[in-house]
């Protein structure tokens, strides 16, 4: 089954074509990913109307390249009237409409479904991907599989080279991204019960906001992590202590906005800290985030006795977090830890294709698809 997957929930535009076999082996025929991060960095975070514009410009081009690379684009032109018929559907995405007419005005071979992220995410960004999927579905007569972005972050960990290896249940998933920090329990495939969440900022958001306070550009996660690494490697010792929020609370919830406030308070008191002190501050911040994630996950492990622990979302690319969870899991012989490949931790469309394949029975037609910015697992 060949799936064309589309991801536009935030500031990465990504298109992939994967060919899945019944035995869960698959081949990545093409994977295109273009980050808009540098463009958004000037605004200090994701700027919605810029994201909307960039997704519209990039999707037709990346899709054309992906189809060509997979040898699935024919020379046969689509009838002009069919293309004009998409105009109404794309009335709010004029740039996208022009791009489709220019780059995708040909028939294709052999795609069985379009998997598209329909939520959660930034509304204007999601809508571009969703309307693009609707247009392609109408133009090429292919069904759509709506995909929950967060499910994508979970199931991408099931990828072992070119095979989907289904996990042993129950599965406990810790999702840590720019918009989410959640603990999810799955007693069986496709079931997701939220047992904990952040009450304010998400972990990735805390990284990004703290980075900004320290003077590091968006996206802050990798930059704070690099600073913290310097402090760790050089064994810096400074008298800086940040709080570990929610540790004493009897729940699986998180809270990260206070941490950012503590960093701000520190910087208001110390207006000219040395580089060494700033690097140590980054390390202390990273320690505080990771410690709270570990403690709440451990608590959930003890309550629910999972057989598999999945860590997913952009923050799972963090080296200190990865090492800390690898240490934690040594305490539990019966649990398998699944961490996504670092390159698959942040947003991409391979994860959307995999989630799409696992939901291949939930196909919809273009009329029944809509973006759901607040979609929950
Ligand atoms: O999953 P993702 O790519 O997008 C969302 O769905 O939100 O996650 C992006 C988040 C950003 O906040 C980014 O700063 C964070 O993941 N991130 C990291 C690292 N790489 C990305 N945070 C900490 N350490 C990293 N190495
Ligand atoms: Zn994400």
Mean pLDDT in runs of 10 for the chain (377 residues)?
98 97 98 92 86 97 98 96 93 96 96 98 98 98 98 98 97 97 98 98 96 90 97 97 93 96 96 95 98 98 98 98 98 98 97 98 96 97
What CA–CA distance (Å, rounded) separates 224 from 285? 9
User: Is 177's C-beta closer than 6 angstroms to any atom of ligand 1?
Assistant: yes
Task: Provide the token pair at 103.
Answer: 């780059």
**What is the reported pLDDT for 44?**
81
Question: Which residue puts its alpha carbon closest to atom 1 of ligand 1?
Answer: 314
**What is the reported pLDDT for 217?**
87
CA dist list (Å): 282 to 232, 237, 257, 267, 277: 10, 12, 16, 12, 9
**What is the reported pLDDT for 42?**
83
How far does the chain reach from its first CA to its final CA, in angstroms? 25
Q: Are 296 and 328 in contact (CB under 8 A)?
A: no
Q: Which residues of 137-152 are buried (b: 16+ CB within 10 A; e: fewer)?
A: bbbbebebbbbbbbbb
**Residue 340 C-alpha to ligand 1 middle, in angstroms?**
13
User: Is 10's C-beta closer than 6 angstroms to any atom of ligand 1?
Assistant: yes
**Residue 91 C-alpha to ligand 1 middle, in angstroms?**
32
**What is the reported pLDDT for 219?**
85
Q: Are 313 and 351 in contact (CB under 8 A)?
A: no
**What is the reported pLDDT for 40?**
86
CA 209 distance to own-chain centroid? 18
**What is the reported pLDDT for 63?**
98
**What is the reported pLDDT for 290?**
98
Query: What are the helix (H) ranges across 42-148?
Result: 48-69, 80-84, 94-103, 123-140
- Spatial CA neighbour of 312 closest among 117, 154, 148, 119: 154
Q: Which residues contact 35 (CB under 8 A, 6 or more apart)?
A: 11, 12
**What is the reported pLDDT for 277?**
97
Which is the closest atom of ligand 1 to the Cα of 319? Answer: 26
């Amino acid at each position: 089954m060949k799936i064309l997957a589309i991801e536009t929930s935030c500031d990465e535009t990504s298109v992939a074509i994967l060919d899945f076999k019944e035995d869960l082996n698959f081949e990545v025929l093409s994977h295109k990913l273009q980050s808009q991060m540098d463009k958004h960095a000037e605004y200090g975070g994701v700027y919605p109307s810029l994201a909307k514009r960039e997704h519209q410009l990039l999707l037709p081009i990346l899709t054309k390249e992906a189809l060509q690379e997979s040898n699935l684009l024919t020379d046969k032109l689509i009838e002009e009237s069919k293309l004009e018929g998409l105009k109404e559907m794309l009335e709010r995405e004029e740039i996208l409409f022009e791009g489709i007419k220019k780059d995708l005005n040909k028939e294709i071979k052999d795609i069985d479904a379009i998997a598209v992220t329909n939520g959660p995410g930034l509304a204007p960004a999601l809508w571009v991907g969703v309307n693009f999927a609707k247009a392609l579905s109408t133009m090429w007569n292919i069904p759509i599989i709506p995909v929950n972005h967060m499910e994508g972050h979970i199931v991408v960990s099931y990828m072992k080279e070119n095979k989907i290896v289904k996990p042993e249940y129950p599965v406990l998933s810790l999702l840590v991204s720019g918009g989410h920090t959640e603990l999810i329990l799955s007693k069986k495939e496709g079931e997701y019960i939220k047992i904990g969440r952040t009450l304010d900022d998400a972990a990735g958001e805390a990284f990004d906001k703290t980075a900004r306070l320290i003077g590091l550009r968006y996206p802050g996660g990798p930059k704070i992590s690099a600073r913290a690494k310097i402090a760790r490697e050089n064994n810096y010792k400074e008298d800086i202590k940040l709080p570990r929020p929610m540790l004493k609370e009897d729940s699986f919830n998180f809270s990260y906005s206070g941490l950012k406030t503590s960093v701000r308070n520190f910087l208001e008191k110390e207006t000219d800290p040395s580089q060494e002190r700033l690097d140590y501050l980054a390390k202390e911040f990273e320690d505080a985030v990771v410690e709270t994630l570990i403690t709440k996950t451990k608590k959930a492990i003890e309550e629910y006795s999972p057989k598999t622990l999945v860590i997913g979302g952009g923050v799972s690319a963090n080296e200190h977090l990865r090492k800390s969870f690898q240490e934690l899991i040594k305490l539990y012989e019966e649990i398998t830890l699944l961490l996504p490949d670092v390159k698959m931790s942040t947003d991409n469309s391979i994860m959307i294709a995999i989630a799409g394949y696992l939901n291949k029975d939930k196909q919809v037609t273009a009329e029944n698809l809509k973006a759901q910015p607040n979609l929950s697992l």
